[in-house]
Structure 1
Amino acid sequence: MKIQNSILYGILAFSILSCDSVEDKKGRFLLKGNEKLEENDPRSAIQLYQEALELDSAYADAWFNKAVAHVQLNQFGQAISDFSQAIYYRPDYSQAHFQRGLSYLDNGEFYNARSDADWMKKNDPENWEGHFLAGLVAEKFEEFDDALLHFQKASELDPDNSDLLVNQATIHYYLKDFDKAKDLLIQAESINPFEPNLHNLRSMIAFDEGNYQEALDAVDKAISFNNRQAYFYNNKGLYLLYLGKNEEGIDLINQSIQMDENNPYAYRNKGIYYVLEGDKISALQFLDELYQDYPEMDLVEEYFEKAQEL
């Protein structure tokens, strides 16, 4: 299983058009790029933002929006570079610091993400996003008490944000305090019942409590609200394995890998599938390496030992 640790809050910059000047032309490219991004065509958007930058290389909004498009393509290194350019030309660009911090997290650069969180807490202290980013970083370092404090501070600054409650619930899930996690999810649902991560986390709690059908129902609800998250399909595949629907399960796990090939939980689930199928060689192909690299991952040791016993 996998929990989404970072959320793209891509607030695109816009431009006011004037006469047919450089400002007008670059603004048109920016707006056309935004339209392509809204049409889920980030590659075309990048080309249009680049046209704007060729007219004005110091156009911070174009650098920012271009970075957002790279994030949509999971091109986090290029996104970080473009967010950095936006910050270079506009040092007080708080949203660029936030988005760059999220991209650093997704790129595994946790200390750099912490630097952006620290900048935001110092320079934009009333913005919940700085505390949210700091909480995400603390979560990556398994500093769970600090993560909770940051998420709670973010909630104080933005009490109607259901995501912040879900993140607090996630920390309590890690700490195996399922009752507290479920209470927070109820609060989050009262604010936004359509939040997919809420239902995904609820599914994971149900799975850990052995309620596999309940887990399946909850993750189906998550998928109905967002059908583009690879780890939702991976979690659903795992639940189907535990419900004895192996072929349906492996199809979804493979679909998840096609969507995101960097999720070790998906390869663990493939290993579980092959254990259930009695295929020792294939099972160990996945579980042996995971046992070496992620020995603390839930279910890895259990199914590695079962694979060896086949």
Structure 2
Amino acid sequence: MQSIAIFLIFLFSCSQSPNYYYKRGNSFFINGDYYKALDMYSKAILIKPDFSQALVSRALTYEKIGDKEKAKDDYIKAISADPKYLPAYNNIASILIESGLYSDALYYINRALEIDPKYYYAFYNRGLLNYYAKNYKQSIDDLTSAINLNPKDIAYYYRAMAYYKNREFTNAISDLEKIKDLSSDIVYYQLAKIKLENLDPSAINDINKAIGIKQEPSYYFLKSRIYVKLNNFNMAEESINQAIKLSGASKSSYLYYAGDIYLHSGNQEMARKYYDMAIKVNPGSKDLYYNCLKKMKKTRRNGRK
């Protein structure tokens, strides 16, 4: 009796088209019900094993639940089923890039470009790969190709970062200026950081905009560094103390920097306080700590309080 029931269930499953299960899988995926989506995609693939769209969708679902190995297997199956289905190449390359397997990722990206020399996502992914691999010139070239095909904000962002790493500050700033209408705190933060290195005083405006969107300790730390460059040590003290407060006084780099600011301002007592806090937070920074104490002694010998 049990075998008859199983047989009837199988017959009912097969009576539906693979597209029916594929579309149901998409509905479950959109609603975040990933295990039901997997079930639907698997039923579609059971009926039609070379259903490349369903294979890629199931792979994406595996990614959502953290099973990248099964995702890679499905992407490879999708490529075997339809060697011209570009999303499979793009998605497996993305997984491989995230895993640091750049040579393997490059293989799939280049295969995608052989199929379609104007495939935006292949140029974008290769630009990203080269950025992570610290091949900044190649990254700029690939991301420029991606932008020429489709000027998306994310490509501008990573090209700006590649320009920055390549010390092309003017170009980096230009790209970030193009996308700052996104009102992204990260974009404003990166703009401020690059402008600081380019000795552009308008960096303070950008970091204030970043802080206006999101309160992050790293943003206040950068703000403090900008004020030091502007020789405004009172505001630098205020900003570094806010960074320390937001971080829970857990970052020795902030504490050492606060000590340096107070030392420059002639407040040895406060400088020593922050240096002592820093060494407690990071006992492995003894060399830096003793160098800071030497700076304090040298400052006293030079007649400063």
- For Structure 1 versus Structure 2, the TM-score category normalised by the shorter chain is 0.5 to 0.7
Q: Does 1:163 align with 2:154?
A: yes
2:211 and 2:219 in contact (8 A); partners too: no
Q: Aligned match of 1:194 in 182, 188, 210?
A: 182
Q: Aligned match of 2:164 in 152, 156, 173?
A: 173
User: What's the counterpart of residue 279 of structure 2?
Assistant: 280
User: What's the counterpart of residue 104 of structure 1?
Assistant: 96
User: What's the counterpart of residue 206 of structure 1?
Assistant: 192
User: Residue 54 of structure 1 aligns to a residue in which SS?
Assistant: helix
Give, in whole Å, the separation in 1 of the partners of 2:148 and 2:102: 25
1:52 and 1:62 in contact (8 A); partners too: yes
Give, in whole Å, the separation in 2 of the partners of 1:101 and 1:218: 32
1:76 and 1:104 in contact (8 A); partners too: no
CA-atom RMSD in angstroms = 3.4
Give, in whole Å, the separation in 2 of the partners of 1:162 and 1:186: 11
Instruction: Please report how far the alpha carbon of residue 162 of structure 1 lies from its aligned counterpart in structure 2 after TM superposition.
Output: 2.7
Q: Does 1:117 align with 2:109?
A: yes
User: What's the counterpart of residue 84 of structure 1?
Assistant: 76
Which residue identity does 2:60 align to in structure 1? Answer: V
Q: Within 5 Å, give how 1:1-310 maps onto structure 2.
A: 22=14, 24-158=16-150, 160-189=151-180, 193-194=181-182, 196=184, 199-207=185-193, 209=196, 211=203, 214-215=206-207, 217-218=209-210, 221=213, 236-240=216-220, 243=239, 244-245=241-242, 246-249=244-247, 272=253, 278=277, 280=279, 282-283=281-282, 306=288
Instruction: Please report how far the alpha carbon of residue 273 of structure 1 lies from its aligned counterpart in structure 2 after TM superposition.
Output: 6.2
Instruction: Please report how far the alpha carbon of residue 281 of structure 1 lies from its aligned counterpart in structure 2 after TM superposition.
Output: 5.5
- Structure 2 stretches of 5 or more lacking a match? 1-11, 198-202, 225-238, 259-273, 293-305
Give, in whole Å, the separation in 1 of the partners of 2:255 and 2:39: 44
Which residue identity does 2:207 align to in structure 1? Answer: A
Which residue identity does 2:158 align to in structure 1? Answer: N
Number of aligned positions between the proteins: 239
Instruction: Please report how far the alpha carbon of residue 309 of structure 1 lies from its aligned counterpart in structure 2 after TM superposition.
Output: 6.5
The structure number with the bigger radius of gyration is 2
Which residue identity does 1:218 align to in structure 2? Answer: A
Which residue identity does 2:219 align to in structure 1? Answer: Y
Give, in whole Å, the separation in 2 of the partners of 1:103 and 1:24: 33
Which residue identity does 2:246 align to in structure 1? Answer: E
User: What's the counterpart of residue 267 of structure 2?
Assistant: none
Higher helix proportion (structure 1 or 2): 2
Instruction: Please report how far the alpha carbon of residue 96 of structure 1 lies from its aligned counterpart in structure 2 after TM superposition.
Output: 0.9
Greater relative contact order (CA < 8 Å, ≥ 6 in sequence): 1
1:274 and 1:282 in contact (8 A); partners too: no
User: What's the counterpart of residue 263 of structure 2?
Assistant: none
- Given the superposition, is the C-alpha separation of residues 309 and 62 from structure 1 closer, same or farther in structure 2, using an over 3 Å criterion? farther
Instruction: Please report how far the alpha carbon of residue 72 of structure 1 lies from its aligned counterpart in structure 2 after TM superposition.
Output: 3.2
- Given the superposition, is the C-alpha separation of residues 216 and 309 from structure 1 closer, same or farther in structure 2, using an over 3 Å criterion? farther
- Structure 1 stretches of 5 or more lacking a match? 1-19, 224-232, 252-268, 289-302
Instruction: Please report how far the alpha carbon of residue 216 of structure 1 lies from its aligned counterpart in structure 2 after TM superposition.
Output: 5.8
Instruction: Provide TM-score, normalisation by structure 1.
Output: 0.64
Structure 1 stretch displaced more, 120-129 or 236-245: 236-245
Instruction: Provide TM-score, normalisation by structure 2.
Output: 0.65
Instruction: Please report how far the alpha carbon of residue 272 of structure 1 lies from its aligned counterpart in structure 2 after TM superposition.
Output: 4.0
Deviations 1:92-135 (A, max 9, x none): 11111011111111121111111111112211112222222221
Give, in whole Å, the separation in 2 of the partners of 1:304 and 1:102: 41
Aligned-pair identity in percent equals 14
